[in-house]
Amino acid sequence: MKKVIDGKALVYCEGAFNTPNGKTAHGLVRFTERYEVVGVLDEKYAGSDAGDVLDGRPNGIPVFKDMESAVAALKATDYMPSYLVIGLAPDGGRLPKEAKGTIKAALQLGWNVDSGLHDFLTNDPELVALAKEKNVKIRDVRKTPDRDQLHFFTGDIEKVDCLKLAVLGTDSALGKRTTAWILVHAFRKAGKKAEMIGTGQTGWMQGAKYSMVMDSCINDFVSGEIEHAVVSAWKNEDPDVIVIEGQGSLMNPAYPGGFEILAAGRPDYVILQHAPKRLEYDGFPGYKMHSLAEQINAIQVISGKEVIAITVNHEGMEKEEILDVCKAITLETKLPAFDVLEYGADDLIALLLDKIK
């Protein structure tokens, strides 16, 4: 059994699994060092294997119809969890009303509850009282630390002398975090020390040791928190490479992100995640995606740094299309393009190993 930070977990993703609003659950199903994921809740895919639904690769994580059937099955196989994790990542980070019943049921069972939403469970007196009665924890991952614990930008980032890579994207909910983890694991497989900087709640839930949650951090401290995470990883781990997870995209109207990572994380190179079949920004019909050329240009103008490769999200594609799409991107941008989720990262890592200082 793999060693995990916290214990076994059931992931709540009702109505959102295998959609952009389930991306926290997707991350946990694909990889986490924080929990051993023993099941997912989503009635639509009940009876399926979560890995098979998501990537066409069964991984032994079952999807259950509801809490009752999950508890019955898990109790019978001695896989009862000690955590319920909210795997939803909807626009605005709101908790659906119907989720509260499941959360109460988990607390009644004596489970801890972790949530990465903007609706803080610790602001609900009923849930807090129930957790206290059952002697369990509710953790709101997006709850910002007190201001006296936050860091302001210092310039110490300039001392970091290992290779720094940022995985930015042309849109939100695009796979930036997944690509960042794939790169970290591929560098480690190649014998290099690599650290991931998590910048969202899912990165923390997956066990990223050096993390901050960008979209709920007070603006004055965002740059300082990014810098502090990178500098801490460098000082404590002495890595060959640090990979910074991106958030949103420079031109997304609802989730403009990446400026702070470029400014404060000061990456040496940018890897740009892109979904070629997306024509409009995620969740915002009528907001046409800017072209790949415009997005690359914006990154390079803002940061003065090179976009070194494109990583492809294959949503909406048949497998036999993927390599041709990658070739077309290379012809258009003169940059190598890779689908690391489908084909692994060995070819991209071979390119990046030459850049290690």
Q: Give Cβ neighbours of residue 190 (< 8 Å, ≥ 6 apart).
A: 349, 353
Q: What is the pLDDT of residue 1?
A: 54
> Which 3 state secondary structure label does DSSP give 227?
helix
Q: What is the pLDDT of residue 26?
A: 96
Q: What is the pLDDT of residue 128?
A: 98
CA distance 128 to 137: 9
Edge-to-edge strands, sheet with 241-245: 210-211, 194-198, 241-245, 163-169, 269-274, 306-312, 337-338
pLDDT mean by block of 10 residues, the chain; 357 residues: 86 96 95 97 98 96 98 94 95 88 97 96 97 98 91 98 98 95 97 97 96 94 98 98 97 93 98 97 93 97 96 96 98 98 97 94
Going along the chain from its start, the domains and CATH numbers come out as 8-140 (3.40.50.720), 149-354 (3.40.50.300)
- Helix orientation angle between 67-76 and 99-108, rounded to the nearest 10 degrees: 30
Q: Tokens 């059937």 label which residue?
A: 69
Q: Give Cβ neighbours of residue 230 (< 8 Å, ≥ 6 apart).
A: 157, 160, 164, 197, 210, 242, 244, 265
**pTM of whole model > 0.85?**
yes
| Residue in 147, 271, 164 with CA at minimum distance from that of residue 227 | 164
Q: What is the pLDDT of residue 121?
A: 97
| Residue in 261, 263, 333, 330 with CA at minimum distance from that of residue 296 | 333
Is residue 55 within 8 A of residue 27, CB to CB? The reply is no
Q: What is the pLDDT of residue 145?
A: 86
Q: What is the pLDDT of residue 337?
A: 98
Is residue 220 within 8 A of residue 264, CB to CB? The reply is no
> Which 3 state secondary structure label does DSSP give 155?
coil
What's the distance, CA 302 to chain centroid? Answer: 24
What's the distance, CA 28 to chain centroid? Answer: 9
